[in-house]
Amino acid sequence: DQQVKQNSPSLSVQEGRISILNCDYTNSMFDYFLWYKKYPAEGPTFLISISSIKDKNEDGRFTVFLNKSAKHLSLHIVPSQPGDSAVYFCAASAMRNTGNQFYFGTGTSLTVIP
Amino acid sequence: DAMVIQNPRYQVTQFGKPVTLSCSQTLNHNVMYWYQQKSSQAPKLLFHYYDKDFNNEADTPDNFQSRRPNTSFCFLDIRSPGLGDAAMYLCATSSSYGNYGYTFGSGTRLTVV
């Protein structure tokens, strides 16, 4: 059963506009969330994270919002740039004593149109 | 730069012929993970090592095995690859302390012919 869901497989945005990528989760024990970015033929690279004690985290053009009551998080990219075109994965974790197992969504492919 | 390296980047193997994928890290992380990612699907955790302790996911087929001879290296062995095992295999590492996320390798794309 998919515990982390990204219901939009793809998104197209004009350069300079805002990109909003959404993620929903089902496990209320999740307390840490990440967004990864993946280019073709490469492994995912870390983008931004948020802990459940916060509802917003900002890093340059990237902001992640967490709504715990709705079990929903979103990634905002503003302004969007063509180099942002990639697949974005949302991941969630609950602390485990043998390391941090993350559960991934299926990804959203973002295309930023010049 | 500290990193996670996977070799080879692309691997073609014959149906039923054993194949080994390798992963090395210079981060000195305690935990190493192997994920399988099929097209348009989320990465799926196969197993992970916490130091020398092996943790297998309940739904990982017996066809998949792993070895971690030392902190730096971890191997994924597929004993008898089937066509359904064609996928991208991702290695990742993490520190055992705190939620700092993973560092991923670039992955090995496995083709079974």
- Checking A4-7 for CB contacts under 8 A at 24+ apart, the result is A4/A90, A4/A91, A4/A92, A4/A103, A4/A104, A4/A105, A4/B42, A5/A105, A5/A106, A6/A88, A6/A89, A6/A90, A6/A105, A6/A106, A6/A107, A6/A108
Distance from CA of A15 to the nearest CA of B (A): 25
Q: Is the pLDDT of residue A19 over 90?
A: yes
CA-to-CA distance for B68 and A102, rounded, in angstroms? 21
CA-to-CA distance for B33 and A40, rounded, in angstroms? 21
Q: Mean pLDDT, to the nearest integer, of A5-17?
A: 96
Residue from A52, A101, A108 whose CB has the most chain B CBs within 10 Å, to mutate: A101
**DSSP string across A33-84:** EEEEEE-TTS--EEEEEEETT-SEEEETTEEEEEETTTTEEEEEESS--GGG
CB contact under 8 Å between B55 and A107, yes or no, is: no
For residue A38, list its beta bridge partners. Answer: A87
For residue A99, the model assigns a pLDDT of: 60
Average pLDDT, chain A: 91
Reduce the DSSP state of residue B83 to 3 states and report it.
helix
Distance from CA of A14 to the nearest CA of B (A): 24
Distance from CA of B39 to the nearest CA of A (A): 9
For residue B1, the model assigns a pLDDT of: 63
pLDDT band at A100 (very low <50, low <70, confident <90, very high): low
Fill in the amino acid letter for B34: W
Average the pLDDT over each of A94-98, B79-83, B105-109 and give the range with the smallest value. A94-98
Average pLDDT, chain B: 90
Reduce the DSSP state of residue B85 to 3 states and report it.
helix
For residue A42, the model assigns a pLDDT of: 78
- Token pair 């793809």 in the structure block, residue: A10
CB A25 within 8 A of CB A89: no
Model pLDDT for residues A35-54, shown as the tens digit of each residue: 999 888 778 888 998 988 99
For residue A95, the model assigns a pLDDT of: 66
Max CA distance (Å), chain A: 46
Residue from A102, A106, A108 whose CB has the most chain B CBs within 10 Å, to mutate: A102
Out of B31, B42, B48, closest to residue A104 by CB = B42
CB contact under 8 Å between B42 and A89, yes or no, is: yes
Model pLDDT for residues B22-70, shown as the tens digit of each residue: 999 999 999 999 999 988 788 888 999 989 999 888 889 999 999 999 9
CB contact under 8 Å between B99 and A98, yes or no, is: no
Q: Is the pLDDT of residue A96 over 70?
A: no
For residue B66, the model assigns a pLDDT of: 97
For residue B100, the model assigns a pLDDT of: 62
CA-to-CA distance for A51 and A65, rounded, in angstroms? 10
For residue A101, the model assigns a pLDDT of: 76
